[in-house]
Amino acid sequence: MRMHLLVEHVLRTAEEQGLWLPHDTIIVAVSGGPDSVALLHIMHEISQRHMPLKLICAHVHHGFRVESDEEALMVEHMAAKLDIPFVMEAVDVPAYMIKSGKGTQEAARDKRYEFLIKTAMKYGARSIATAHHADDQAETVLLHLLRGSGPSGLIGMKFNRMIKNVELIRPLLRIYKTALVDVCENEGLVYAIDESNLQTKYRRNEIRLDILPFLGQYNGQITQALNQLSNVMTAEDDYMEQAAAKLYHELVRKVGERFTFSVSSFSDLHVALQRRLIKLILNYMSVDSELTDYNKIETLRDAITQKAPSTWSRDLGGGFVCIQEYDVVTFQPKSFMQRVRYTYQLNAVVPELKVSEIGKILRMVVYSREQKSWSRAELQGHEAVFDADQLSLPLTLRCRQDGDTMKVMGLNGSKKVKDILMDDKVPPSIRAQIPMIVDGNNQMVWIPGIRRSIHAPVNQHTTSILHMSLEDA
């Protein structure tokens, strides 16, 4: 294949995927193999004839093989011939393997990207271009399939993704390796052959050298079929992500680090969206991919959708927990399970009191009867009004205490606060978050959002009205 055909292909891909803009600085990762050599020359051709781009040729010297010194020199000379700045770093992969406990390929990958990101930041580059191609994509899809991946894994590699505030781009992802080797041969471009790519002790090499050729006996177009699967799944996964994001905004309530939704609304969803919604919440909670594996998601989905109502708790790992209480499912940090203790004493009416322990703000305003008045029907659950002259100061806003009771409006005698919360089906995990307000006589006057007491009612004789509201901070 000729260079101009690959350049045109890459230009179409770049425009379609939004890979770069004029005058972008791009770090081009060049190992010295035919793929990355072709990439460097394609990007150079684009920067010279089609779009102004500033390129930096970046090479990692892993030091694993005796040829590493020669390959580094070859890439440096190639960059100089194209008048592209060259940056190289020698990395100590064996030392990092000992420190991290990772295998050879994973450790080398970590150090390679660490260098590329550092270089991108040094030069103020928008992106890092790598030479991953269509054959790499097929191997990735098959590798994910063998690991039991869901639809998202069958996408394989994306054309672009963010990695530590730098965009990683793959301009060659629709081009097969044979085309890249052909252009090197036709254009007389020197490249290196990494003999370690022929060793089947590495899983990806085993897929390339053994598994794909074996499958090719049953489908001569197996690599193309896997790329077709990737293309289809990319579009469908994008659609499902959009649908899940829409449902998240409709069904999930987020307060601080707590995510809640109702069992009934969740159970009405298609099973595919149920899984997506759980995965989306877990992703918002933590970047730890172990939290989002299929088995964990399916275990949670089964528990939430079981017919019999129940209360349960599941440790998600990573310091997070999922709880179902009545019709409410909550994802939250484990630390929220601990009982919060706090006490605020108010010797006078204050416009605003921030209760940081529970992420709430208490607002207080005194009105004359002529200024403003409320009927009971007009008040929201988080609001209450009192006869300001009858209310004994100081007021105390505090956490619930064992033995708390309240004289509830419309009920003869007192009732335990614990029973009030249970009757209102307030989830046990958030009962400790609900504040109590008591007056100067230590009488419970209001449980915000739950009940108001019989004390200091507003009536026809009231001249000053104290309006209180408890809102999210």
Residue 160 and residue 172 in contact, taking contact as beta carbons nearer than 8 Å: no
Distance CA 57, CA 119 (A): 10
Classify the C-alpha dihedral 35-36-37-38 as positive or negative: positive
Residue 238 CB: number of other CB atoms within 10 A? Answer: 11
Q: Where are the alpha helices (DSSP H) in 252-351?
A: 263-267, 271-285, 294-305
Fill in the DSSP letter of residue 209: I
Fill in the DSSP letter of residue 226: H
Distance CA 183, CA 7 (A): 11
Distance CA 385, CA 159 (A): 58
DSSP string, 152-201: TGGG-S-SEEEETTEEEE-TTTTS-HHHHHHHHHHHT------GGGG-TT
Distance CA 299, CA 416 (A): 37
Closest CA to 446 of 379, 370, 368, 372: 379
Annotated binding site for ATP, which residues?
Answer: 31-36
Tokens standing for 348? 């006078």
3-class secondary structure, 228: helix
**CA 441 centroid distance within chain:** 49
Annotated binding site, which residues?
Answer: 31-36
* 177 contacts: CB under 8 Å, gap ≥ 6: 34, 35, 133, 134, 135
**Size of the chain in residues:** 473
